[in-house]
Amino acid sequence: MNHRGVEFTVAKTATPGIWQWQFRIGEETRTGKTETKIDLLAIRRVQLRIDRELKAIGRRLDPVVRDRGAVAGKSA
């Protein structure tokens, strides 16, 4: 499956109601488990996790982007 350009997997485990998930952003692979009886809810939880990770990456990169923009603004 794909969410915002990030490939991810969600799979049932041997334990009923437990889903194992995995996705990779850049060089980092995230894995985990979630508990729900509903497959679509398990997928949605992984999508939300991906959104949080992408937002965190954006916050880490944001000051760099702002600094570049400020430098470009001064020279123009």
Each residue's pLDDT expressed in tens, for the chain with a length of 76 residues = 999 999 999 999 999 999 999 999 999 999 999 999 999 999 999 999 999 999 998 888 776 555 555 555 555 4
Q: What is the pLDDT of residue 6?
A: 97
Compute the distance between CA of residue 15 and CA of residue 33 in angstroms, rounded to an integer: 11
Q: What is the pLDDT of residue 72?
A: 54
Domains of the chain, by residue range, sit at: 2-68
Residue 23 burial (C-beta neighbours within 10 Å; 0-12, 13-18, 19+): buried
Q: What is the pLDDT of residue 39?
A: 96
Stated pTM of the model: 0.77
CATH number of 2-68: 3.30.160
Q: What is the pLDDT of residue 76?
A: 45
Compute the distance between CA of residue 15 and CA of residue 11 in angstroms, rounded to an integer: 11
User: What is the three-class DSSP state of 26?
Assistant: coil
